Amino acid sequence: MRRKASLILLAFAVFFTALSPLLRWYAFPRLAKIPANQYQAVVLEAKDATLLDYGTMKARTVPGVTIVQTLKGDVEASEKIEKTAGRDVVVWDGLSYVQGPDGKMVSRIPERYIFDAHSQDPVHATGEMVDGDPVRRAGIEFKWPFLTQKRDYEYFDAQTRTTSPIHYRGTRTFRGVKVYYFEQTVPWTKVPFPRTMPVQGITPESVARTGTTRWYTTVRRFWVEPVTGAPVYGEEIHKEELRGGTLLGDRDRVTAFAGHVKMREDYIRSTVALVEHNRLLILMLTSYLPWGFLVLGACLLSLSLWLEARGRRPGDPAPADAVEPEPVTA
């Protein structure tokens, strides 16, 4: 009976020990994915910002500027791209909508971001764009990979349509969550005018004919939860200028927008709560279950060996049917 129980325990020990690496190295890459139908919105604010009045072409200080960023998954487009890409793909249609204190539109920049559902590596396919301009992204955007490392990453900037390093600056605690802090500085760069201008009748082409150009710089900061790779908070010190041309008259340059852009408080709280929930799910696949099954397998193996040893312990009385019969003589 002990030998039978020992064999059963040994079988379970082998099963759970084998399941441990399978969860981490086989199931995790296939189960931890960004949903293709995900939708999210974030509201950011820049208080006491500087904004250009296109009526007078002069910069003025305003109480605040609001930026609404939305990301909406296109399931049909992702399924179509997956057929040729050979992997799970997510297609995000993003929109960055900026409005002044009066509620009027300052700028709106749409983009389509196509990436691998697990690794977040960009996937190049027809439709990848920023504000209608085809782009070929390199590096990450919006989200870091699962199990983010303490190193620099390449980050795509939608304004300049270029990729540059975003630097790891250390480990911190944000609202009780352990995060990695990243920072990127984009130097002054000439960038295109948005296709949708805030003043009716003015187009990027008409502004270009005046010789006026648009320039941009920013310091971008993210606090990233490393297990999920999701930013729990982000901010930018953002500046835009118009330079040269007849549109500015005798001035060399004028500030189009300047402000310290930060996430609104209610969106910070909801983002932290969502990240903490998803963090637990990822840890179940990468740490809790694999290590738990490994320890359980070791315990079952020890118990199996112990039962086997007890079954073979010397000195135990032999069973009655094991006693040799005495020889029979004539």
- List, as one string, the DSSP characters of 245-303: SGGGTT-SEEEEEEEEEEE-HHHHHHHHHHHHHHHHHHHIIIIIHHHHHHHHHHHHHHH
Percent of the chain scoring above 90 in pLDDT: 68
Position 325 scores a pLDDT of 57
Distance CA 72, CA 305 (A): 55
Residue-wise DSSP of 73-136: E-HHHHHHHHHHH-S-EEEEEEEEEEE-TTS-EEEEEEEEEEEETTT--B---TT-EETTEE--
Give the per-residue pLDDT at 208. 85
Query: Per-residue confidence at 314, pLDDT binned at 50, 70, 90?
Result: low
Predicted local confidence at residue 280, as pLDDT: 92
Q: What is the mean pLDDT of residues 155-182?
A: 96
Read off the amino acid at residue 38.
Q
Q: Is the pLDDT of residue 301 over 70?
A: yes
pLDDT digit string, tens, across residues 30-60: 889 999 999 999 999 999 999 998 878 889 9
The pLDDT-based confidence of 207 (bands split at 50, 70, 90) is confident
Q: Provide the pLDDT for residue 34.
A: 93
pLDDT band for position 202 (cuts 50, 70, 90): confident
Q: Is the pLDDT at 197 greater than 60, yes or no?
A: yes
Residue 126 near residue 214 (C-beta atoms within 8 A): no
> Residue 264: how many CB atoms within 10 A of its CB?
14
Question: What's the pTM?
Answer: 0.87
Give 110-120 pLDDT, tens digit per residue.
999 999 999 99
Determine the pLDDT at residue 2. 63
Note the pLDDT of residue 65. 95
323, pLDDT greater than 60: no
CB within 8 Å of 21: residues ≥ 6 apart: 290
225 or 8, higher pLDDT: 225
Determine the residue type at 206. S
Predicted pLDDT at 11:
86
What are the pLDDT digits (tens) for 124-159? 999 999 999 999 999 999 999 999 999 999 999 999
Q: Cα–Cα distance between 128 and 125 in angstroms, integer?
A: 6
Per-residue model confidence (pLDDT) at position 163: 96
Q: Where are the domains of the chain?
A: 32-263
Q: What is the mean pLDDT of residues 269-291?
A: 92
57-111 pLDDT per residue, tens: 889 999 999 999 999 999 999 999 999 888 999 999 999 999 999 888 999 999 9
Q: Is 55 helix (H, G, I), strand (E, B) or coil?
A: coil
Q: Does residue 315 register a pLDDT over 70?
A: no
What is the pLDDT, as a whole number, of residue 329? Answer: 59
Handedness of CA 199, 200, 203, 208 (dihedral sign): negative
Report the pLDDT averaged over residues 16-25: 88
Q: Are 68 and 103 in contact (CB under 8 A)?
A: no
